A = this chain, B = another copy of it.
Amino acid sequence: MECDPIGHVETPFDTTGEAPRQGFLGEQSGTVHVDEPFRRGLTGFAPGDSVLVVWWADDADRSVLRVREGDRGVFTTRSPARPNPVCLTTCELIAVDEDAGTLEVAGVDMADGSPLLDLKRTLEASGEGAPP
Q: Which residues of A contact B (CB under 8 A)?
A: 1-6, 21-25, 34, 38, 40-45, 49-50, 52, 54, 56, 65-66, 71-78, 82-84, 86, 88, 90, 92, 107, 115, 117-121, 123, 126, 128-132
Given A43-B66, A75-B120, A83-B118, 16 other A-B residues pairs in contact with their CB atoms under 8 A = A1-B5, A1-B115, A2-B2, A3-B84, A3-B86, A25-B128, A38-B75, A38-B83, A40-B65, A41-B66, A43-B72, A43-B76, A49-B76, A77-B120, A78-B121, A84-B117
Contact assessment for B44 and A4 in the assembled complex, using a CB-CB cutoff below 8 Å? no
In the complex the two chains form, what is the Cα distance from A21 to B2 in whole Å?
A: 24
